[in-house]
Amino acid sequence: MSGRKAVKSREVKRKATAFSAGRIAARVSALGREISRAYQKRRLDVVVTLDRGFVFAADLVRQINGPVVCHFVREDVRDVEQGGRARREIAFGSRPELKGRDVLLVDAVLDSGITQEFLLRRLGESHPRSLRLAVLLDKPSRRRVGLEPDYFGFRTASNHIWVGYGLAASNGTGRNLRGLSPDKHR
């Protein structure tokens, strides 16, 4: 391959991946340092939302310097009709006991904020010492509630559905990709 073709190939690849694996790793490392400073080696209970948050959470907790206990919750979102009105119902499985503990909710994307706000309220019912939110992607232009993350990897104004780094495309593929790109299947 000539030098000119190699350069062109790298340029195409760079455009296709909005957030490279290296850029993500550097940002997650910086978030880990910031969180470590905030908790000063105190035990941190990390609540991870499945399915979206598992890759981000796995990398993030390895960057936190101090004791970490992981808990996993899975959201169950369903549309229900009651009295002729359609509404969306959000439920989570069992809640961990978090009374008096420092808690960090970790999710991959903060979009409308409705689901995270609901879960934060539910976790707050356990009366933790502190309760904070960390997300990889913050999409403030899509927010429907007054919620801001305490820690975020990247802020994006994009309306894209992101694929890679644990996030699936609309057809279910792509979670294993190391970088993040817009979903080409939409």
Give the pLDDT band (50/70/90) at residue 49: very high
CA distance 36 to 32: 6
In the DSSP assignment, the letter for residue 19 is: B
Q: 21 by DSSP, 3-state: which?
A: helix
- 16 pLDDT higher than 70: no
Summarize pLDDT for 67-80 with one digit per residue, the tens: 999 999 987 777 77
- The torsion of the CA quartet 167, 169, 173, 174, rounded to 10 degrees, works out to -50
Q: What is the rounded CA–CA span in Å between residue 168 and residue 186?
A: 12
Query: In this structure, what token pair is assigned to residue 103?
Result: 């808690």
* Given 45, 102, 107, 111, the catalytic residue: 111
| Whole-number Å distance between alpha carbons of 126 and 28 | 28
Indicate whether 9 pLDDT > 80.
no
pLDDT confidence bin for 185, thresholds 50/70/90: low
- Neighbour tally for 28: CB within 10 Å: 21
Q: What are 25-36's pLDDT values in tens digits? A: 999 999 999 999
- Hey, what are 160's tokens? 């894209």
User: Residue 94's pLDDT is what?
Assistant: 73
Q: Is 138 a catalytic residue?
A: no
* Strand 102-110 versus strand 44-50 pairing type: parallel
Residue 63 CA, distance from chain mean position: 15
pLDDT 10s digits, 64-120: 999 999 999 987 777 778 787 776 666 677 778 999 999 999 999 999 999 899 899
Start-to-end CA span in the chain (Å) = 33
pLDDT score at 8: 40
pLDDT of residue 176: 96
- Mean pLDDT of all residues belonging to the chain: 87
